[in-house]
Amino acid sequence: MDLFFDQYRTARGYKESYLLNSLNVLTTKHYYSCQKYKNIIDNLYHSKLLYNNLEDVPYLPVSLFKEMSLHSIDTDKIFKTMHSSGTTSNQVSSIFLDKFTALNQSKALVSIVSEFIGPKRLPLILVDSETSVKDRYEFSARGAGLLGMKQFSSDHIYCLDDDMVLDEKKLVGFLSKHKNSPILIFGFTFMVWEYFLQASKIDIDLSTSVLFHSGGWKKLQDKQVSNLEFKKVFKEKFNLEKIHNFYGMVEQVGSIYVECEEGRLHSPNFSEIIIRDSSNWSVVEDGQKGIIQTLSVLPESYPGHSLVTEDLGRILERDDCLCGRLGTTFEILGRVPKIQIRGCSDV
C-alpha cells in the first residue's frame, strides 16, 4: 500500500490490516529505542509489543509530551523540534523529528490537501506574520502549519504585519496579480476570523478561493461563533464557499483530518481514530460521545503513533460519506476536563 496515493480510496478491511501491522512495528521500534516509552510498556502493558486489534495498541496521553522528552533517535539525528501552542496550559509539547519522519509528514500533508485543492500549486495567502517562521529548526505549531501549507503555493504572501494588523494594500495587490487564478488561503481559525474577516474593510470577491483553517475554536466558541456561523459570515462578506476546517495536532503533524463538503472530518489512509469512554477507557460504539484517540503510522522518530487526546468526539460513518471518500468520519464535540492516564508519568 502506498500511503501517499489514492487518498481516501482504501477499503476499511485492507486499511485496518495495514495500520495494525505498521503500528505493531512502531511499538516494537520505540520500545527498543526510547527508554521512557519502554518503561511505560513494561509497567502498563506487561511488555507486550504485538497486538491483534487496533483498539489494543498501547496509547499514551498527548499531555505526556508536555511533561517529558520522548524520542527514539539520538540527539544528533534531530532535524526539527516542534512545539505545541500551549493555549490550554503554560506547558508545551516538544516533538523531535529526524529527516525521514519530517519528509513523510510533509508527503502525507501533500497527499491529503491535494485531494481537496487539486494537484496544481496555487497562489497562497497566509493569514499570519512572517515572524512566525523565522526559526526553521525549532518552531511552534503555527509555524509548522504555515511552512506545511507553503509547499502548495506558486506564490505567497503573509497578509499580517508584525503587529497582527491586516495589510490591505498588500492583500489587494496580490489578489489583483492573481485575478485569473484560484487562490488558496490558510490560517488558524481564530486569526482568520479576527484579523482577516473582521478586520477587513475592503470589498473583495473570494468566490474562486479555497480556505483551509484549524485550531483556535475555543476562542471563537467563547464568542459564540460556531462552524456554521463561521462559514455563513465568510460567504456573506467575501462570497467564499469552499471552506475546509481540519483537525490535527503537533504531536502527529502530517496526520490531519480534513472536513469534506458534507461537514465530516475524514481519516486519511495512514491514520485512524478510536473513541473511548472517559470512565473506563473502553471503546464506545459508533455514534456515541467519548475521548478521541488518534493512530498514525508516520511518527518514526518519537513514540507518538497512538495517542489519547484531550478532545471529545463521536464517529459518524465508516466508508459511507456522501462526499464519496472512504474512511472513518467523525466530529469534534469540545474539550475534556483535565485528565491523566494513571501511572504514565510515574513509570
pLDDT in tens, 222-249: 777 888 999 999 999 999 999 999 999 8
Q: How many CA atoms lie within 13 A of 339 on its CB side?
A: 20
First-to-last alpha carbon distance for the chain, in angstroms, is 36
Report the CATH number at residue 77. Answer: 3.40.50.12780
Provide the pLDDT confidence category of residue 343 given band limits of 50, 70 and 90.
very low
Residue among 124, 131, 166 nearest 148 (CA): 124
Q: Which domain holds residue 329?
A: 12-335
Query: What pLDDT is stored for residue 3 in this prediction?
Result: 65
- Could you give the CA distance from residue 343 to residue 338 in angstroms, rounded to a whole number? 15
Q: Averaged over 38-44, what is the pLDDT?
A: 97
Query: What pLDDT is stored for residue 246 in this prediction?
Result: 94
* Count of domains observed in the chain: 1
Is 343 inside any structural domain?
A: no
Q: Averaged over 140-159, what is the pLDDT?
A: 86
The reported pTM is 0.90
Q: How many CA atoms lie within 13 A of 62 on its CB side?
A: 23
Dihedral, 154, 78, 60, 316 alpha carbons, nearest 10? 10
Query: What pLDDT is stored for residue 46 in this prediction?
Result: 96
Is 341 inside any structural domain?
A: no
Is 103 inside any structural domain?
A: yes
Beta strands (DSSP E) in the chain are 60-61, 80-83, 94-97, 122-126, 138-140, 153-158, 184-188, 210-214, 242-247, 257-258, 265-266, 271-276, 290-296, 306-318, 328-335
Cell 511505560, located at residue: 40
Rg, C-alpha atoms of the chain? 20
> What does 143-199 look like in DSSP terms, one character per residue?
HHHHHHHHTTEEEEEE-B-TTS-B-HHHHHHHHHHTTTS--EEEEEHHHIIIIIITT
Q: Averaged over 270-295, what is the pLDDT?
A: 96
pLDDT in tens, 172-219: 999 999 988 899 999 999 899 999 999 988 889 999 999 999 887 777
Is 154 inside any structural domain?
A: yes
